[in-house]
Structure 1
Amino acid sequence: MKRLFTTLFFLTIFFAVSGQTSTDFADSIRIKYKIPELAFAVVSADTIFELQTLGVQRINTDFKAKPDDRFHIGSNTKAITAFISALLVAQGQIKWDTKFLDLFPELKEKSRKEYQDITLQDLLTFRGTLPAYTYTFDKPTKRQIKGDDAAQRFQLAKYFLSQKPMQIENGLTPSNADYILAGLMLEKVSKKSFKELVTDFGKTLGIVFGFDYPNLTDTLQPWGHDINLKPLPPFDNYKLNWLLSAGNINVSLTDYIKFIQLQLKGLKGQTKILSSQTFEKLLYGLPTFSFGWFNKFDTLTNHHIAYNEGNAGAFITRVQIIKETGKAFIIFTNSASTETSEGVTIIIEHLKKKYSK
């Protein structure tokens, strides 16, 4: 933490002198595109080039944004789930080719034949062929899924394994259901709940991970806003619990930077937590979607880009990691409108152009 504040102090002086800060630009986009709160950062493996939090925690209020505000990161959770999986693989607790139904043989008989051999890797890389599912779907209903939190996710797995598989497009079958099953596998082999796995992992990096929308446990944290910019009051969303390992983590930007810098360090072989080959595998190892990360090759810049977006209906968070430049771009917002998405795109492209080398 001391190192972080030292870095921030230096950068504040540098940008004040050089006039290169992007804060004014980002804030103008925030206002134009009606984004209540916006946080952004540009980082390398060992440097924070820009870090700022702007706006208000709740629209039409005076609750000003704070540097330690927490944001729900939605599907950016998937990279954390995949990373924890890689740690358990490295520890010998599970293998990439471990089959889901080998860990849960009691579900074998009533599972469709198409799912008999799906593995942890299949599930983490959107190649499990399970049916599409997200928090807006009507089925299964709450009445169908019973028990405590863990039992509900088990019942979901049973339900999905009995449904017709998704048709493969571009080599992928993207479904949050894949990550629900992957989370169950991690819990089974580690004998820990998913929340315990995430919390323990966070402690190794000095990160405080939370779950659900931030205002559920602290109303003085940012409130999410829906597509109509309506602030969502605290409520216990059972579907977010179902999607725990697929998209239900919240975290501050200052903490999330540590996770992203770990990826940048890993790609350069600057950490012993996992091999550089494993980091490469996680972010870029498979076409289109690897382990928790989409990836693409930008023919204009010749850059390999790992990226993802989180959006569970109240927050939009977007992250890109550029392999060749060793830089990452992070945008957090507390709204999920179309305008928010457009504004985020403008800001991230502005930052990428500025830090293209």
Structure 2
Amino acid sequence: MKILNSLVVSLSLLSTIACVSRTPASDPVENKPQDLAAQIKQIQTKSMMPGLQVLVTEGDRKVFEYVDGVRAVGQSLAVTSEDQWHIGSCTKPMTAFLVGQLIDQGKLKWTTTLAEIAPKGYKLHTSVQSISVEQLLAYQSGLADVTTDEKLWNSLFTDKLKPKVAREKLVRSILKSPVRFTAGTKTEYSNSSYLILGWIVELIKKSSWENVTEKELFQKLGMNSCGFGPAGIQDKKVALQPWGHHMVDGKLVALPPGPLADNPAALGPAGTVHCSANDWRKFLKFYIGNEAVRHQFVSQSTYDKLLSNAPDGFFTYSTMGRGERPWAKGAAYFMMGNNTFNLAFVTVAPAMNRIYTINTNAGHPQVEKGTAEILQLVLALE
């Protein structure tokens, strides 16, 4: 099943993120907007990106935008500035902020354990009982990977269950499995951790993670283009939005929206959101430090915790990477999402009030390399 590969890709992306984010530590070569389009086009073609949007903003000002290519190979509809892109694991920070809200409301603590939160009747392996919310947020849970039960995993692509019901099946499987390492002893990227966090949100809010995300984030922030799973689901023949692509014998093949065009819906809290680049920014302003936006959602102390580095020194408690970068004039936040069919990359430089996003509708290894090259170019913009 293709998603088994997707989870491996999620892990490999971490080294790519680190490389991309640290390379510009020295002053980047100055680049001018008029020179960028041709350079990015070359990278897009070389890296086999069907459609591509690169957007750099400073506050509400657009510093640079590049939009080119098609929504689906074999079709003529071009991508646009308002198209909806799948952002994969960049969904995770949204889940983290929902957890932060529950902590502020007194319905959850950083130290709350799975044994304390799990309903009666749940079979928790003894090794998972003491895992805390804080350890889940910091990728220090040690939970078994979501692919442990391959039969169950494969069934999630065919079962016609509502996401919340399918999610609970998956959670039960994870929580009865032994951990890979003792919680709190090391850091390891984990889709399971954020899946469990989304499930905790559901337990407390008594509603699906999708409904809570829609109400608490999308509606409040005016993220009207955002949704879950593949974009453009209304039509499986015409690409109304960018379709994901996979490689077949060295050629890109478009995937019409459907169960096989994304991770199972059960994995939502760890990576199924799609939205336009402009709407995504409405959430990313949290990382700029916009007080008006922050005040609507979480307390200052919770905000500071979510944006601070976890014990490993790379991840934050809201999953984005964080590090001091000379080109950013201070701290920079960065993350990449990839469901193997789409790729999204974001870098936020609060001191510069800048947000950089790169979105494309393919996620093979050449795309990862091309994304790193594009980032190098746009980081040099004045």
Is the shorter-chain TM-score for this pair beyond 0.5, marking a shared fold?
yes
Is residue 213 from structure 1 mapped to residue 240 from structure 2 by the alignment? no
Aligned to 2:191: 176
Contact 2:90–2:337 (CA under 8 A) maintained in structure 1: yes
Q: Are 2:72 and 1:58 aligned?
A: yes
Q: Is 2:295 the counterpart of 1:272?
A: yes
In structure 2, do the counterparts of structure 1 residues 107 and 308 end up closer, same or farther at CA, with 3 Å as the change threshold? farther
2:125 is the counterpart of 1:112: yes
Contact 2:246 2:364 survives alignment (8 Å) = yes
Aligned partner of 2:136 among 123, 128, 131: 123
Specify whether residues 300 and 137 from structure 1 end up closer, same or farther in structure 2 by C-alpha distance, changes over 3 A only: farther
Q: Deviations over 1:140-193 (max 9, x none)?
A: 344599764322211211111222212379821322111111111101111221
Structure 2 partner of 1:259: 283
Q: Distance in 1 between matches of 2:205 and 2:62?
A: 34
Match of 1:317 in 2: 344
Instruction: Name the structure 2 match of 1:293.
Output: 319
1:79-138 alpha-carbon deviations (Å, 9 max, x no partner)? 111112222322333222222332223255x3221211222222222111101236x983
Question: What letter corresponds to residue 377 of structure 2 in structure 1?
Answer: H
Once the two structures are aligned, what percentage of the paired residues are identical? 24
Offset of 1:347 from its aligned partner?
Answer: 0.7
| CA deviation vs aligned residue, 1:64-87 (integer Å, no higher than 9, x gap) | 112221111110000111112222
Q: Number of residues paired by the alignment?
A: 335
Work out which structure has the larger RCO, using CA pairs closer than 8 Å and 6 or more positions apart in sequence: 2
- In structure 2, relative to structure 1, the CA distance for the partners of 1:253 and 1:78 (3 Å cut) is same
Instruction: Give the direction of change, closer, same or farther, for the CA distance of 1:340–1:239 in structure 2 (3 Å limit).
Output: closer
Counterparts of 1:345 and 1:68, CA distance in 2? 23
Q: Is the alpha carbon distance of 1:328 and 1:207 closer, same or farther for their aligned partners in structure 2, counting shifts above 3 Å?
A: same
The alpha carbon displacement at 1:331 in A equals 0.5
1:79 aligns with 2:109: no
Unaligned runs of 5+ in 1: 1-17
Task: Give me the TM-score of the superposition, normalised by structure 2.
Answer: 0.79
**CA distance, structure 2, for counterparts of residue 175 and residue 30 of structure 1:** 30
| TM-score w.r.t. length of structure 1 | 0.84
The within-5 A match list for 1:1-357 is 20=34, 22-107=36-121, 110-133=123-146, 138-142=150-154, 148-167=162-181, 171-200=186-215, 201-208=217-224, 209-218=226-235, 219-228=239-248, 229-237=252-260, 239-266=263-290, 271-273=294-296, 274-286=298-310, 287-298=313-324, 301=327, 303-355=330-382
Counterparts of 2:116 and 2:214, CA distance in 1: 27
Q: Is the 8 A contact 2:323 2:331 kept in 1?
A: yes
- Residue deviations 1:245-302 (CA, integer Å, cap 9, x gap): 1001111111112111232133x68742234543332233322222333424356657
**In the alignment, is the contact (CA less than 8 A) between 1:183 and 1:245 conserved in 2?**
yes
Distance in 2 between residues matched to 1:260 and 1:203, nearest whole Å: 15
